[in-house]
Homo-oligomer: A and B are copies of this chain.
Amino acid sequence: MDGGVDGMRIGELARRTGVSERSLRYYEQQGLLVARRTAGGHREYPEMAVDRVVHIQELFAAGLHSRTIYKILPCMRDSDGGPSETATPLLVEELTSERDRIDRMITDLLRSREVLDEVIAGATGRPSAA
Contact = CB atoms under 8 A, between A and B. Distances in A.
B129 A116 contact: no
Given A72-B116, A103-B113, A87 B129 contact: no
A63 B102 CA distance: 14
Interface string A95-130: 110110011011011111101111110111011110
Interface in A59-90: 59, 61-62, 64, 72, 75-77, 83-84, 86-89
A92 interface: yes
A12 interface: no
A95 B124 CA distance: 12
A95 B120 contact: yes
A6 interface: no
Chain A facing B: main interface SS: helix
A122 B58 contact: no
A35 interface: no
Given A105-B109, A112-B58, A87 B117 contact: no
Contacts of A58: 108, 111-112, 115
Interface of A: 55, 58-59, 61-62, 64, 72, 75-77, 83-84, 86-89, 91-92, 95-96, 98-99, 102-103, 105-106, 108-113, 115-120, 122-124, 126-129
